[in-house]
Amino acid sequence: MKLTVKGFDIHAGFLDIADQRAVLAAVRAVVAQAPFFRPETPYGKPMSVRMTAAGRYGWYSDKKGYRYVSDHPSGQPWPAIPAEVLEIWRSVTELERTPECCLINYYDAEAKMGLHQDRDEKSMDWPVVSVSLGDEGLFRMGNVTRGGKTESIWLRSGDVVVMGGAARLAYHGVDRIRSGSSTLLPKGGRLNLTLRVVD
């Protein structure tokens, strides 16, 4: 089922449980090569999410600012984006262009992500595709400028969100995690994959 909220296209239940398990296995293979790390904001505060990435680029943050980088903090190049994940991109965007980054965020029961824009990419013409696995996350959608009315929806395991067009530069974030709402991840928590065209 697809619904559109404030320009965000939400494909509820896009991945069935078999597909979710296949994507999870592919993500685990990425994490085995590029372990999760906890970046710091430019103000020196550790983020509540842990992250890693796949593709030509990964996203990174420290006192120098937010940016894309070509290597994991270990110094190794990021693993390739799994085919199972690229297939999701192709299915929901119908684009020939493929993303150069799959950012993988892990949210434990206490993690959240404040309202922000995705604007480190060179062009805003390409959508950002978000995949949810595991516990439900309360996704908040705002406007292209700070302030104003926001709307929220619980994203469940297997949901896919496409942020394109008017929603491409809209503020968005995750307010909280509904711990124990999914059994996909044995230790609980939520995985969020975001696919981005960087160059």
Global confidence as pTM? 0.95
pLDDT band at residue 187 using 50, 70 and 90 as cut-offs: very high
**Mean pLDDT estimate for the chain:** 96
* 23-76 confidence digits (pLDDT tens): 999 999 999 999 999 999 888 889 999 999 999 999 999 889 999 999 999 999
The pLDDT of residue 60 is 93
pLDDT band at residue 96 using 50, 70 and 90 as cut-offs: very high
Domain ranges for the chain: 2-36+84-196
* 86-95 confidence digits (pLDDT tens): 999 999 999 9
Distance CA 86, CA 98 (A): 7
By CB atoms closer than 10 A (0-12, 13-18, 19+), residue 16 is exposed
**Which CATH code fits 2-36+84-196?**
2.60.120.590
pLDDT surpasses 90 at 108: yes
Instruction: Locate all alpha helices (DSSP H) within the chain, ordered by sequence.
Output: 17-33, 83-93
DSSP single-letter state for residue 144: S
In sequence order, what are the residues at sequence separation of 6 or more whose Cβ sits closer than 8 angstroms to the Cβ of residue 100? 55, 56, 57, 196, 197, 198, 199
Q: Tokens 């293979």 belong to which residue?
A: 29
The pLDDT of residue 105 is 98
The residue type of 27 is: V
pLDDT band at residue 133 using 50, 70 and 90 as cut-offs: very high
The pLDDT of residue 170 is 96
The pLDDT of residue 147 is 86
pLDDT surpasses 90 at 194: yes
% of the chain exceeding 90 in pLDDT: 92
The pLDDT of residue 154 is 98
* 137-170 confidence digits (pLDDT tens): 999 999 999 989 999 999 999 999 999 998 999 9
